């Protein structure tokens, strides 16, 4: 075997032939090559682990560690606010050759604080911040420091985020558009709380992978929702905080995430580095710098989160009240909300990301009545971190959301699902400006329920967990907490944090361990003489097969663990005796508050409808044009982004100086009016156009044609609706004969011009729109005594039904 491995002999004349004679099947050579490669990969792998440990220690010793890939400057330090917090508002400085347009809407990313350090939203060039910077938006980042301020609460953090947004708005007086705010994971529910309390400082809101409804979930998935029940409630959180002397170590949260996928944590992630150690080192170390940057949370903060959100599910049911008496009701959010989630996310699956909609509203008409626009997008495969870290996701979904934020901001109230398709998939691809097209589809609650999969019988189980949690927490605070408060010291708490298994793993493999001294020397020698094995080596193939078997075994163990946990949870908390013991057994008891079904909310809906009924016939040509657009397109101002861009451009021509906020109000109000009473809304179009000239009406119809042509040909049904709108507009044309002059009263030539549309033609148009509330022939303008041929305007040309 040594002879076969000797490179000098193999390179001499006849060396290959001699090697082949001694090892005709190549097993020995394959074994030696694999053995050498595996030894080299082992040395390089452990040297990467040493670098990871050094990187961790260096990162944790920084005063303000983060993993942002962009240069920043601090604008507001949260520690200087009236209620100090460890949060900061940063201005993101654009890279070279990147131009920022100060007239564009500001873009703010709020980072999640769930155990890891800040910066994940701007981790890569192809990130949420990177996409917005490329689009020319002024960008800001709300991050945090490793340790909380004394006495810091969740409400303090929410108030700090509102103060930061007000500061951003003050920095851009030249634009009337409010900032678009992106909240990743835990930051999602924080900004939703802030938007419910102070809706006037928010533009469109994008929440990515943010859990808002913690009781929701599909059986067989989302194992984290059972954690509170299996530990007996939030007393464990209180004990962990007391062991930390009032501080909660975020490493415990990271450990919970790692336990979800043991195959990836204990094998797949590490083996991928070992298998590709020549190319994966940089990517691995970049990710580990964030994954291992553990931060600390205040005890009061984490207890509030666990009691009110994880276990109590009080955010999505409007049960949270601030210390100054304000109710945190997500129905108060006035900005459009985009919910981005993934079916491949086991931390925040779609039911938990979307369930709050089902909790707060009884139907899509409630969303409309509250003048809210909710849009959701579901990725098929990406995991939790991939939602806001993956470069492919940022280049596609986040790029489209950023490019269309103005369009999203004027979407009428309702529930929509958005899909993103490649431009090449459309026959009119030349009309699409970018590589992808963002399209919106109205959804109802029956369709939403297929994703939320709400089960009322589970509500009683989780309500039982909440009661048990309150009981156990009370017992802990009565009997155990005083002893821990008396014995724990700051020094002991710091020592316990340093000894956490996850933290300790980083420190043991660093230069502070004398056993790692030979590693850099050995790794340098290997890199200079590296001879990787061929991929077709049989022993390398066996290694890959063994790795796959280990992954499959760990996955099987995880599935068995999760299914057993779910079955135990369902059996224990589904026991009628336990439910009766905590006062939750019986159909008459309300286990889950449903704000949308409460009497005061139904009265609000009724009052809102009565208020809008009085506005149906009020307004002018602005209302008439927008009402027509929404009607023809079937309930939305555009089927996709192209219609909106044409609509906004032509709006600037017809209505110069009208701010976007007024345009947004107009869209939403006219949509609501059509939803409330379509027949009366259409019948009042001639009233809204009263007093307009023929030229004005022709201009409005031309405007509508441009809008509808932006996304290709209208469908046959939409074309019929457009014909009906034309007939209603023509009905509003002036039809009054001017009084003759005294000296020429009997002269036919002195008659006033005849209107462009006759009763006969109006009846023809109405007949083409059968089934709609078009004006009948008897309602058309009367035929004058004498009629002159009139020039055909755009309002008189009848559109032939076209197929999409």
Res 591: pLDDT: 57
Q: Which of 661, 748, 650, 760 is nearest to 700 (CA)?
A: 650
Asked if pLDDT for residue 710 goes beyond 70, the answer is no
Residue 304 predicted with pLDDT over 90: yes
Grade residue 779 by pLDDT with cuts at 50, 70 and 90.
very low
Confidence check: pLDDT of 191 > 60:
yes
Q: Is the pLDDT of residue 422 over 80?
A: no
Nearest Cα to 187, choosing from 221, 217, 142? 142
**Does 130 have pLDDT greater than 50?**
yes
Res 65: pLDDT: 81
Residue 752 has pLDDT above 70, yes or no: no
- Residue 564 pLDDT: 96
Cβ 57 vs Cβ 506: under 8 Å: yes
Quote the CA–CA distance of 736 and 754 in Å, as a whole number: 9
Helix pair 759-768, 716-731: axis angle to 10 deg: 150
pLDDT value at 1 more than 50: no
Q: What percent of the chain stands above pLDDT 90?
A: 41
Q: Hey, which of 19-23, 64-68, 580-584, 638-642 has the most confident mean pLDDT?
A: 580-584
Angle, vertex CA 262, rays to CA 256 and CA 263, nearest 5: 150
Which of 190-204, 508-522, 612-626 has the least mean pLDDT?
A: 612-626
Average pLDDT over residues 124-131: 77
Residue 569: its pLDDT value, please?
A: 96
The phi, psi pair for 337, rounded to 5°, reads -115, 125
pLDDT score of 77? 96
Mean pLDDT confidence for 693-711: 81
Q: What is the mean pLDDT of residues 643-669?
A: 64
> pLDDT of 12-40, one tens digit each?
445 555 555 556 667 888 899 999 999 99
Is residue 111 within 8 Å of residue 290, measured between CB atoms? no
Confidence at 590, pLDDT banded by 50, 70, 90: low
| 304-308, 401-405, 633-637, range with greatest mean pLDDT | 304-308
pLDDT mean over 472-486 = 96
Q: Is 519 helix (H, G, I), strand (E, B) or coil?
A: helix
- In the structure, what pLDDT confidence band is assigned to residue 644 with cuts at 50, 70 and 90? low
pLDDT at 784 over 70: no
What are the residue ranges spanned by the domains of the chain?
Answer: 1-61+259-292+500-531, 72-215+313-454, 614-736+754-779
Q: State yes or no: pLDDT of 271 exceeds 70.
A: yes
Alpha-carbon distances, residue 308 vs 26, 111, 154, 470 (angstroms): 65, 21, 11, 11
Mind listing the pLDDT tens digit for each residue in 340-389?
A: 998 888 888 999 999 999 888 888 888 887 878 899 999 888 888 777 77
Contact between residue 84 and residue 78 where contact means Cβ atoms under 8 Å apart: yes
Please state which CATH number belongs to domain 72-215+313-454.
Answer: 3.40.50.1820
Give the pLDDT confidence score for residue 789 in this predicted structure. 41
Q: How many other CB atoms are found less than 10 A from the CB of residue 70?
A: 20
Alpha-carbon gap, residue 642 to 650, rounded angstroms? 12
| Residue 788 in this model has a pLDDT that exceeds 50 | no
pLDDT value of residue 196? 93
What does the pLDDT look like over 397-418, one tens digit per residue? 777 788 778 778 877 788 999 8
Top-confidence residue, 166 or 99? 166
Q: Considering only 275-284, 286-295, 664-673, which range has the smallest mean pLDDT?
A: 664-673
Provide the pLDDT for residue 261.
92
| Amino acid 663: pLDDT | 74
Backbone angles phi, psi at 116, to 5 degrees: -95, 165
pLDDT number for residue 802: 40
């Amino acid at each position: 075997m040594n002879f076969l491995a000797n490179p000098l002999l193999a390179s001499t004349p006849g060396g290959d032939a001699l090697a082949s004679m001694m090892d005709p099947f190549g097993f020995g050579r394959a074994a030696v090559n694999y053995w050498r490669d595996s030894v080299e990969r082992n040395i390089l792998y452990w040297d990467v682990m040493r670098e990871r440990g050094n990187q961790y220690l260096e990162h944790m010793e920084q005063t303000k560690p983060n993993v942002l890939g962009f240069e920043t400057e601090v604008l507001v330090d949260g520690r200087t606010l009236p209620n100090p917090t460890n949060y900061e508002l940063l201005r993101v400085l654009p890279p070279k050759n990147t131009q920022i347009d100060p007239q564009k809407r500001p873009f703010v990313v709020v980072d999640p604080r769930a155990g890891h350090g800040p910066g994940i939203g701007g981790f890569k060039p192809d990130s949420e911040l990177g996409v917005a910077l490329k689009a020319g938006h002024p960008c800001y980042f709300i991050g945090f420091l490793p340790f909380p301020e004394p006495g810091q609460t969740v409400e303090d953090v929410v108030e700090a985020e509102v103060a930061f947004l007000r500061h951003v708005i003050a920095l851009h007086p030249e634009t009337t558009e409010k900032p678009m705010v992106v909240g990743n994971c835990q930051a999602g529910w924080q900004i939703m709380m802030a938007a419910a309390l102070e809706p006037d400082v928010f533009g469109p809101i994008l929440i990515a992978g943010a859990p808002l409804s913690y009781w929701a979930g599909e059986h067989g998935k989302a194992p984290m929702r059972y954690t509170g029940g299996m530990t007996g409630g939030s007393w464990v959180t209180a004990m962990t905080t007391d062991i930390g002397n009032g501080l909660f170590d975020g490493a415990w949260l990271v450990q919970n995430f790692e336990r979800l996928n043991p195959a990836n944590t204990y094998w797949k992630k590490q083996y991928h580095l070992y298998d590709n150690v020549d190319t994966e080192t940089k990517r691995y170390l970049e990710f580990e710098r964030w994954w291992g940057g553990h931060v600390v949370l205040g005890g009061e903060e984490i207890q509030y989160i666990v009691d009110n959100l994880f276990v109590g599910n009080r955010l999505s049911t409007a049960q949270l009240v601030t210390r100054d008496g304000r109710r945190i009701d997500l129905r108060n959010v006035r900005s459009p909300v985009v919910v981005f989630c993934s079916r491949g996310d086991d931390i925040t699956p779609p039911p938990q990301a979307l369930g709050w909609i089902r909790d707060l509203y009884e139907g899509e008409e409630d969303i409309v009545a509250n003048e809210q626009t909710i849009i959701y997008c579901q990725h098929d495969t990406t995991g939790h971190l991939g939602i806001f870290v993956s470069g492919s996701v940022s280049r596609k979904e986040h790029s489209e959301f950023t490019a269309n934020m103005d369009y999203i901001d004027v979407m009428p109230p309702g529930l929509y699902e958005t899909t993103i398709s490649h431009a090449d998939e459309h026959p009119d691809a030349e009309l699409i400006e970018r590589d992808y097209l963002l399209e919106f589809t109205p959804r109802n609650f029956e369709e939403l329920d297929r994703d939320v999969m709400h089960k009322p019988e589970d509500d009683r189980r989780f309500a039982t967990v909440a009661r048990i949690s309150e009981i156990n927490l009370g017992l802990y605070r009565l009997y155990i907490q005083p002893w821990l408060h008396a014995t724990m010291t700051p020094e002991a708490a710091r020592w316990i944090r340093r000894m956490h298994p996850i933290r300790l793993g980083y420190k043991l493999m660093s230069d502070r361990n004398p056993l790692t001294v030979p590693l850099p020397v050995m790794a340098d020698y290997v890199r200079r003489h590296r001879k990787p094995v061929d991929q077709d080596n049989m022993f390398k193939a066996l290694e890959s097969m063994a790795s796959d078997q280990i992954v499959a075994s760990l996955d099987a163990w995880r599935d068995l663990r999760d299914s057993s946990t779910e079955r135990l949870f369902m059996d224990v908390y589904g026991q009628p005796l336990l439910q009766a013991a905590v006062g939750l057994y019986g159909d008459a008891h309300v286990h889950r508050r449903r704000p949308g079904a409460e009497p005061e909310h139904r009265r609000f809906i009724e009052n809102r409808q009565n208020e809008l009924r009085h506005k149906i016939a009020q307004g002018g040509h602005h209302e008439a044009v927008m009402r027509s657009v929404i009607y023809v397109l079937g309930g939305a101002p555009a089927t996709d982004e192209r219609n909106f861009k044409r609509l906004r451009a032509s709006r600037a021509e017809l209505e110069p100086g009208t701010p976007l906020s007024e345009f947004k109000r107009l869209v939403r109000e006219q949509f609501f009016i059509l939803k409330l009473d379509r027949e009366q809304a259409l019948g009042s179009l001639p009233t809204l156009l009263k007093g307009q000239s023929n030229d004005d009406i022709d201009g409005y119809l031309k405007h509508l044609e441009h809008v509808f042509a932006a996304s290709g040909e209208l469908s046959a049904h939409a074309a019929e609706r457009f014909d009906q709108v034309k007939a209603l507009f023509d009905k509003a044309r002036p039809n009054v004969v001017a009084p003759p002059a005294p000296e020429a009263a009997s002269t036919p030539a002195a008659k006033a011009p005849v209107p462009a549309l006759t009763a006969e033609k109006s009846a023809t148009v109405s007949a083409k729109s059968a089934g709609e509330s078009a004006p009948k022939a008897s309602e058309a303008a009367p035929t004058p005594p004498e009629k002159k041929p009139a020039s055909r305007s755009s309002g008189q040309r009848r559109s032939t039904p076209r197929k999409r």
